Structure 1
Amino acid sequence: MARPKELDPRASLAAALGSQVRRLREGHGWTQQDLADRLYVSATRVAQIELATDPPNEALTQDLDRVLEAADELNVAWFHMNRLNHPSWLRPYVDLERSACRMRKYAVQLVPGILQTAEYAAALFSVGQPGITDDALKRLVEARTSRQSLLTGPDPMHLWAVIDETILMRPFGDDDSIMRDQLNHMLMAAAKPHVELQILPLEAGHHGMMDGPVTLLEFPDRPSIAYLAGTAGGEVVESAHTVKKYATMYDRLMVDSLSPEESRDLIRSTLKERYGCPPPPPSNDP
């Protein structure tokens, strides 16, 4: 029998995660095929994880943690590995986002990251970073879409998003299916009881947040913060006075926007008129 390839767990966080998976697997007395059978993946996929050539996504990591009885050890390792896939300037905000109980977000140019499909995110990163490698693109997309886990589970974060109408009107990507799937995804998210989505119509005119996207985060155990995103960085604002100012402007946007029901109707009509397809069926999520 061939000797397993040695892997330095200090080489990277992906290598550290792979080493943990191998150690736990061997502790159970399982081969890679034994573990693969329990995960409904191939033995090659298990080898890729253990050798850090293709790290697992969040869902697969959760399955690994459960099957290997890792007591959240693998989930924690995945979190730290995934955190590094975000730009360094974004990481402080991402850490805050994970502990928030409520998010209010205004999006002016792009669908909010927490609501983006993988294809939409890939198109965005490909344009914004010419020459990006496939591996780097995959890591960025996984980091972006993994944030949607905040909207699932027994105690999901409450999201209220106000989205500028121009986002619905602007073609995105090289294929109509990218924007069609993105709009469908937004409709399905908006059907959840803890997600509210409003469209700010063009007729609303000018307002206090036209300079760029703004996010307001509320926490169960600390004061609220505002996050101001830009093309090359972002700023976390903790001043109570400034946060209150942005909260007041956000309240104004909510008043000027279409109601959640009208907003969903506008997305449905956009899907039908611009993309010639019916909207998704109503969600049965509780």
Structure 2
Amino acid sequence: MTAVGDARIRRAVRAREEGSDLPGVWSAYGGLLQHLRIRAGLSQQQLGDAIGYSLELVASVERGRRPAKAAFTAAADRVLEAGGVLRVLQDEVDRAKLPRFFRNVALLEAEALSRFSYDPLLVPGLLQTETYAHALLGAHFPPLDEEIVEQRVAARLARQALLTRKKPPVVFVFIVEEGALRRFVGSDAVMHQQLEHLVTCARMRNVELQVMPAVRSVHSGLNGPMVLLESMDRRRHVYVDAQGVVSVRSDEDEVSEFWLRYGMLRTQALSTEESSRLIERMAGEL
């Protein structure tokens, strides 16, 4: 890559990060796309025609207003003979669709060997169906722009690739409150599909799903949701989320306390077999 291209990207990232809610990496990607297009001697219209996208979309991507999707990137990289440079940024472009408060957590999550979570209010994002996620984000207040809803749904579904990652695989344990599974989101059809999806996920070899029964009124998770991560270098982290304020803890003593608490939670929840049977019964009620 040329020095001009590097400088363009650095300026774009700084501008976005200093004065806009739009992710800096979208602008960085757009600046790089514009540089490659001009180098190839193409107008925005010509590039759009060559890759099968509209002039408006190409212009929006170059301005950093809209994120490029993987198919757009693959086509542009090929037509502009970019040698994979655009594809290098695609993961970051996709991750930036997530809410700002969650992006650093998503980086830790992407490098995890194990992920243990407790979710008292909702089906965890990694196990949500598209229709459930869409209904949930559509009910956000203040209301989100429809395009933002679509971007966040897409990002949430993209995160779910972790469930089937092979090298290395990730071990998951999900503990979900029974009340979260009974919370009506969307419609009967949405909830039925979501519960059936949970049963399917629970059959995966690297996934354990436990339900905390409603009759267990007192347990070690009453302080709120938590996610425990162990990274590839065997470092352990915990993150907790309170009303969109995410706190990541890495202090060994503090992290150890969370792991002990989570171990107790597992003994207090239903077994995986009991949990699957309960979810199947709940799905049958809809």
Q: TM-score, normalised by structure 1?
A: 0.76
Residue 95 of structure 1: how far off its partner (Å): 1.3
How far apart, in 1, do the equivalents of 2:32 and 2:243 lie? Answer: 37
Residue 116 of structure 1: how far off its partner (Å): 1.6
User: Partner residue of 2:180?
Assistant: 167
Q: Deviations over 1:64-119 (max 9, x none)?
A: 59977976644431222233333332222111111111000011001112212222
Is the CA contact (8 Å cut-off) linking 1:160 and 1:197 kept in structure 2?
yes
2:219 paired with 1:207: yes
- Which ranges of structure 2 fall in alignment gaps of 5 or more residues? 1-7, 17-23
- Which ranges of structure 1 fall in alignment gaps of 5 or more residues? 1-7, 36-42, 276-286
The amino acid across from 1:203 in the alignment is V
How far apart, in 1, do the equivalents of 2:99 and 2:112 lie? Answer: 20
- Range moving further from structure 2, 116-125 or 66-75: 66-75
User: Partner residue of 1:254?
Assistant: 266
Is the CA contact (8 Å cut-off) linking 2:48 and 2:58 kept in structure 1?
no
How far apart, in 2, do the equivalents of 1:226 and 1:144 lie? Answer: 20
How far apart, in 2, do the equivalents of 1:64 and 1:221 lie? Answer: 36
1:228 aligned residue (232, 240, 253) = 240
Closer, same or farther: CA 21–271 of 1 in aligned 2, 3 Å: farther
* RMSD of aligned alpha carbons: 3.2
Q: Name the SS for the 1:96 alignment partner.
A: helix
User: Partner residue of 1:96?
Assistant: 108
Q: Deviations over 1:92-148 (max 9, x none)?
A: 211111111100001100111221222222222232233321112112222222211
How far apart, in 1, do the equivalents of 2:220 and 2:203 lie? Answer: 28
User: Partner residue of 1:78?
Assistant: 90
The amino acid across from 1:169 in the alignment is R
Alignment of 1:1-286 (within 5 A): 10=12, 13-14=25-26, 17=29, 23=36, 43-44=52-53, 48=57, 52=61, 55-57=67-69, 60=71, 73-155=85-167, 156-173=169-186, 175-273=187-285, 275=286
Closer, same or farther: CA 207–127 of 1 in aligned 2, 3 Å: same
Q: Name the SS for the 1:149 alignment partner.
A: helix
Is the CA contact (8 Å cut-off) linking 2:73 and 2:90 kept in structure 1?
no
Q: Name the SS for the 1:90 alignment partner.
A: helix
Q: In proportion to residue count, which structure has more helix?
A: 2
Aligned residues: 257
Q: Deviations over 1:247-279 (max 9, x none)?
A: 111111111222212211111111111x1xxxx
- Aligned sequence identity (%): 28
The amino acid across from 1:227 in the alignment is Y
User: Partner residue of 1:5?
Assistant: none
Residue 14 of structure 1: how far off its partner (Å): 3.9
Q: TM-score, normalised by structure 2?
A: 0.76
Is the CA contact (8 Å cut-off) linking 2:114 and 2:229 kept in structure 1?
yes
Closer, same or farther: CA 70–103 of 1 in aligned 2, 3 Å: farther
How far apart, in 1, do the equivalents of 2:170 and 2:58 lie? Answer: 30
Is the CA contact (8 Å cut-off) linking 1:61 and 1:78 kept in structure 2?
no
How far apart, in 1, do the equivalents of 2:54 and 2:166 lie? Answer: 30
Is the CA contact (8 Å cut-off) linking 1:61 and 1:74 kept in structure 2?
no
How far apart, in 2, do the equivalents of 1:172 and 1:161 lie? Answer: 19
The amino acid across from 2:212 in the alignment is L
Is the CA contact (8 Å cut-off) linking 1:49 and 1:55 kept in structure 2?
no
